[in-house]
Structure 1
Amino acid sequence: MDSSAASGGTASMDAKSFGSRSARITGAVASYWVVSISMVFLNKAVLSGPSTKLDAPLFITWYQCVCTVAACYALGTLGIGGVPRFELRRTTMQRMLPLSLVFVGMIATNNICLKYVEVSFYQVARSLTIVFNVLLDYVILGHTTSRAAMGCLTVVLLGFLLGNEQEVRWSLAGVVFGVASSFFVALNSIFVKKHLPQVDNDPWRLTLYNNANASLLFLPLMLLFGEVDTLLESENARKSVFWMLMTVGGVLGVAISFAAAAQIKWTSPLTHNVSGTAKAAAQTVLALLIYRNPITVLGFVSVLIVLSGSLAYTLVRRAEMRAKFDSESAAHNASAKSEPR
């Protein structure tokens, strides 16, 4: 065969491979953005929309957990997406209970925050997650943080304070639940690492047990806060569009797991975090365009400060982890060379 023809064939195959990978990356990132943003706007519509509003955030969150359990059952039965067959063991449910309690706190406060704040302010209200990450890492795990990372956290904190000072439709309840959501998100990440081995390090089994436990834990909470009566008395709860949006929200709750996993698979954890930051910026701009929320110049600047600080923290931590890995690898290689043969 002519060498030039062979070269041309190889180049053609490389181009096709590159094009295929680029398409998958673009598709994964786009899917994550669409699913994540859609879920936020849909939940906001159910919590605050004039024709679908239901003043029962715990019930809405419970329904989405039930949808997730049902989806895990269906996907596991059909063997789709690597989801394992549906199986719940009481001993495992009990061992997973501490994580599930944190999980309930996380998703409940997240939706309650969204009920009280505008979507354009949502990112600022929940921006303290990385601050709590650092605090909990130090208190629980004893990990210290570099000055560079602390500088990034300071930027985020300043953006949070400026955003609260400049928000036109400021809500104390929204900020309180936003801060609580940030705390539970940070605590949840630590608990996930601790409890993942109890489900054979399978994220889908973790999702199943978490949502199954949450479906039970939310029941007394809904009764305690009178949300069952609210549901029975609500006119919107009798509308088919309400239940359609509720079910779509539950489906999106499962889809976000697939979308995030696909984005990480075809890019990297760092790119996933960067993409999430960019998505938050796009989400804020879309909220301003759709809802026409009043916002001051400094209010918009506060959003940019929060996002910039979060992105900088991600990049700094990535660089530090890379440097630590390189240092440990060099030390290991040096030790291997010095050992007598």
Structure 2
Amino acid sequence: MAFLATRLTNKCLVGRNNLFFPFLTLSLKMSNTIFYIMPLSIVFVGMISFNNLSLKYLGVAFYTVGRSLTTVFNVVLTYFVLNTTTSMQTLLCCAVIITGFLLGVNQEGSTGHLSYGGVICGVMASLFVALNAVYSKRALPLVNNNPWKLNYYNCLNGMFLFIPFMVLFGEVDVVASYPRLTSSDFWFVMTFTGIVGSLLGFVAGLQIKVTSALTHNISGTAKACLQTVMVVVINKEVKSFLWWLSNAMVLVGSAVYVMVRRVEMKMEMGVENKEKESDTEEDAVRIETSDDVKSNL
């Protein structure tokens, strides 16, 4: 995490324009950009919705395990979307994560507080988190790699995309009848939440830009693990050894996965560099041969 923070800081100092909100004007180009970012916004709405539903039906302490399949879905999407094969070491890491997930579900169920609907929402949230990282990486070039612009357009689309869901699930009446709707305390908390959410969206976009979608997903898993420990300590909850083991398996499986992928990516870059050097040498030989032929003529 310290290494990631250092990298982010260095990148920010190099490109300071990314730290300030850009000046935006309504134009045809802006409307086209909003349209092209719409797939990301749909994924974003799904991610927020299932995240909130999983928190509604599951305890915050179980949130780590409920959301632990993000790395697994990242591997699955890499295979089916990018047609990239996966190594046996990566599959073993995914097996450890899935085992930790199933063990966590079993332990949470033994306490009588498990909601299978919440588990399904957690699985769907993991899928949409993985998709969000991938689509964010693809959408950044559309906004000149500016995380502020991406966050702005994404939130703008999401604001309108949420309206049909509010109408469909009867949330409009719930909001209208909320007794503290006109309370200043309520709007202070909502405004503060919105500001923090915007900052989180900006940092997520910046992180994906300077690192990768994989790094973003892994850091999210580490954050969720820290969040779990804090909730258990603050609420003075007592958890079984197997419950802690399930969380440890998720964290260890994700950490080893990062190490495996780092080694694999270095090997892939080495192969690419060798191929480029080989192509350069072949081109040099062709030029020399051509020069020799010309001199003989």
* TM-score clears 0.5: yes
Report whether the alignment pairs 1:127 with 2:74.
no
Q: What is the alpha-carbon distance in structure 1 between the residues aligned to residue 263 and residue 84 of structure 2?
A: 17
Greater shift, 152-161 or 235-244, is seen at 235-244
Matched, 1:146 2:84: no
Q: Select 2:259's aligned residue among 302, 307, 315.
A: 315
Task: In structure 1, give the amino acid aligned to 2:23.
Answer: R
Identical positions, percent: 43
Q: Which residue of 1 aligns with 2:96?
A: 155
Q: SS of the counterpart of 2:19?
A: coil
1:214 deviation in Å? 0.5
The answer on whether the counterparts of 1:120 and 1:293 sit within 8 Å (CA) in structure 2 is no
- Among candidates 121, 127, 146, match of residue 202 of structure 1: 146
> Which residue number corresponds to residue 189 of structure 1?
133
The letter of the residue matching 2:94 is: L
For residues 226-241 of structure 1, the aligned pairs below 5 Å read 226-241=170-185
1:90-105 → structure 2 map (5 Å cutoff): 90-105=31-46
Give a deviation string over 1:48-97, Cα, whole Å, max 9, x none.
xxxxxxxxxxxxxxxxxxxxxxxxxxxxxxx8823321245323222222
Q: Residue type of the partner of 1:106? A: M
TM-score normalised by L of structure 2? 0.79
- Deviation per residue, 1:268-288 (Å, 9 max, x gap): 668877654443332111100
Distance 2:79 2:211 in 1: 26
Equivalent residue for 1:324, pick from 248, 268, 277:
268
| CA distance, structure 2, for counterparts of residue 153 and residue 138 of structure 1 | 13
2:199 is equivalent to residue 248 of structure 1: no
CA contact (8 A) 1:277 1:311 kept: no
CA contact (8 A) 2:147 2:206 kept: no
Q: Render the CA deviation track for 1:31-61: whole Å, top value 9, x for unaligned.
A: xxxxxxxxxxxxxxxxxxxxxxxxxxxxxxx
Aligned residues: 269
1:85 alignment counterpart? 23
**Aligned CA distance change for structure 1 residues 179 and 95 (closer, same or farther; 3 Å):** same
Worse overlay, 331-340 or 213-222: 331-340
Q: Distance in 2 between matches of 1:334 and 1:135?
A: 33
TM-score normalised by length of structure 1: 0.70
8 Å CA contact retained: 2:137, 2:208: no
* CA distance in 1: counterparts of 2:78 and 2:204, whole angstroms: 24
Q: Which residue is equivalent to 1:60?
A: none
Tell me how far apart the structure 2 counterparts of residues 207 and 279 of structure 1 sit (CA, whole Å): 21
Matched, 1:295 2:295: no
- CA gap of 1:203–1:263, structure 2 versus 1, over 3 A, is closer
Q: Call closer, same or farther: CA 1:220–1:249 in 2, change over 3 Å.
A: same
Q: Indicate if the aligned counterparts of 2:43 and 2:131 stay in contact, CA closer than 8 A.
A: yes
Q: CA deviation at 1:303?
A: 0.7
SS of corresponding position for 1:183:
helix
Separation in 1, partners of 2:69, 2:205: 24
Please tell me whether the aligned partners of residues 68 and 221 of structure 2 are also in contact (alpha carbons under 8 angstroms).
Answer: no
